[in-house]
Structure 1
Amino acid sequence: MSKTLPRTLLAVLLATLFPFVVYSDSGPDRLPDFGDSAGALISPRQERALGEAFMRSVRRQARLVDDPLIHTYIRQLGRKLVAASDMPAYPFSFFVVEDSAVNAFAGPGGYIGIHTGLITAAEYESELAGVMAHEIAHVTQRHLLRAYESARQMSLPTAAATIAAVLLGAAAGSTDAAIAGATAVQAGSIQYQLNFTRANEKEADRIGIQMLAGAGIDPSGMPAFFERLYQSNRLYGAGNIPEFLSTHPVTSDRMAETQERAREMAGGGRRDSLAFQLVRTRLLVLSSPGPRQLLPALPAQGTPAQRYGRALVLARTGHPRQAEDLLRQLHASDPDRIMYRIDLAQQLLEQGRREQGLALLKATLVLYPGDLAVGRAYAEALLAAGRDRDARDVVLALLRDETARTPDLYALWARSTSRKGPAWETRFASAEAYYLQGNLPLAIDQLEQALALKGLTEYDQARIRSRLEFFKARQAERTKRE
């Protein structure tokens, strides 16, 4: 993976992508009139395509957390919030960016990015959920798409120059130059968009608080977290301002309004959850360069999250039996907890007790069919045991969930067929993984290799050709833009 995409550059990239999407149906000199803020600024199909392109760009330029347990928790929390929104059927996708900055962002098409720094900075689940609800509200209230209005009078050369400045600067690793180039071309437009976004922060707060209450989560988590960030900004000065405050300015007036709205909506919502504390602890341990140093803060007789963290540290520092003992204790006290079951199974597998580990994972998948974390862990274990076809069946079942389709899962599908499964399927799965990573040339190459193989059925050929034509069309569009 390449280095993490700076949030400032990402904001500029978003700002420049919006006016780019719909050139083809407009005249030669100006972007089209998109209508007012309350209208349909972009078709659902265009928005989806833009969101997918945005996500591929993020995967190319940022380091994403691929830990299935962390990813699954964030997806589940996000889905709970979306279910309480006024767009419960909208296809939101949630992902975690490996970045210590305290921040989150909403991209086009409902793609919501959560920084690892935000997860570890939050003290309770309601605080993390408050930020996520705020970002979801930016999407449901169409704040991102309203940025089209500032691009009405932008000429195509200006838009093209801006995109070129950002993309060339990012490709060269000179993000400062990219931002400077973009600012020189359309500083006024970007400033307008930033101001416009600030004007909608209060609306996102209000809708987000309603979302929290509807999801059964304590709405005071949002203002409590904002207050802590605000106080840290005052304490440490502008030079150390949390990233979230840079992109989501918090004033004393806005904070007071948010606190008042939270009080009005208060009604016994959940402040915290063990799942959040386990994920937060897991993230702290897995991201620590020296996990052994964490042991004093993770007593063997502490809270479940502390004991879980201690087990992870012991597992990472060469003490598998001690880790297993702690995980068995936790599992006995909370037998249906997915995280305990998966990590206990991993310890059994790593100690050579393969059948016990596989049995525990299989039983867990029966309890939680379709769970991404369980399914991936089970498929990996099956592959290690040489049961490739069984692993393939597990992966294909997971891929039925469109929101679970990540490069890692497609790569796992490819691995499950690389030794025993049809060669075309290995290349087909690899092509899908490359496509989601934004690498169209390699995706096309894999499908062309697949199509050249002998023994393909007519159905196989049709399936490969269909995706190959789609990838080539996307590549032609990209080449034309460049």
Structure 2
Amino acid sequence: MDWPDGRGDPGPALAGGSSKKLQGIVERVQADRFLVDSSWVVPASGALFTGKARQVGRIKTGYWAEVDGKWREGGIFRADRIKTDEDYPGHTFQGQLKSQGLQEADKIGKGKQAYTHPEVVAYVSNIGMSVVPEWAKSQFKFQFGVIRDPTLNAFALPDGSIFVHTGLLARVENDSQLAAILGHEATHVTQRHGARGYKKQLTTFLPAMIGAEIVGTAVGDDKNSFVKAATALGLNLTLSAAVNGYGRSQEDQADRVGMRYMVEAGYDPTPAPRVWDIFNETYGDQSKVENFFYGNHSTNAARKKNQQEEIRRHYSDPAALKITRPVNEEGYQKAMLPLTRDNSMLDFEAKRYPLAKAGFERVLRHLPEDPASLTYLGRIARLSSDQPGRFPEAEERFRKAIQSDPRYPDAHRELGRLLASQKKRSEAKAQLKQYLDLAPVDAPDRRDVRAELAKL
């Protein structure tokens, strides 16, 4: 989206008359202005140009720019000093990092934790490609993948490979929120955050990660299988991006630029700040390694406030917005139903029962007779020792699952176990036998069920 008169132009918060500094990759150039760090920059009268270009007309897309100046009404950054260069800090590392990123992305895509449901992956990829700016598509081979992991995480590699965990996709509520997340990740690629921060990562984060693994220190959640798998495969770029992120200033820049990407793609930015509430509801406002955007980042509360201010100052004028992709909560959640169910099973296995329950309940709002969700909700009810009515609720769930699909074996197994615990041996035996008749011959718990049956 162009902002020819500067109205509604996004950028860091207005700061009265104080001097500010912007820096980043130049993304667009118009007759008298250029776009950097999501903001249109206009030289002030008598502005000092240093470096490669000595006037706006000689600045090219892809140049590195550092500008000092002040904000004016409407969001335009009036620059007193403009320094440009053909090369950005760390550019000598970019080729190496792109090659390594591509190799690591290939390993992730072929790994056991790659989530390959075709419709889900296509849905994520379509939204991801929609927020990638056109100029960047010729410079990077963007690809989007999904990782089977219940933590709330997403990360980008320098080659343009972007991955989202099932845990995050299962809790995002609509297309606009996902567009904000993927826009944020795309910014890490387009702004070359990997190369720009490479030296710091080498001297701080990676040695700490390696040391933590050597001494057995838990990196975030000690059951985070993705972190363990990435460590075992030696995916250093992946660990750096997924665990530590790119540092506070670059993460904050990705929030700003990523929001511009989603707005220019036609998404409504209004739901975006709600993402930070989702994080707080899940983890609280703390820095944990399993949370995306974390590490050295601003807190969730601060980032939510920053995004709300961005919207209020720069995207609140309906006349300046061209929303061609309205908020689509119903469509998004329906598209994610297989993933939401699968991720809730992962939450259940990790004993994150409240999160698992919320996920299965979301599935049932769209598929009220889904036997797997009903069965798992019954199991969660049975495990809820603080609820006096847990056994009747569990039994009701199991029986409804069987009524929905009599050939779903797990519902028979769980109902049989519940009845056995209540000394209802005859019906318990019938249900356990039914499970053995329906379950695959290589079901891992067949031996256990036979042993339970023998005790009855």
Give the TM-score normalised by the residue count of structure 1: 0.44
Higher helix share: 1
Give the TM-score normalised by the residue count of structure 2: 0.46
Question: Which has more radius of gyration?
Answer: 2
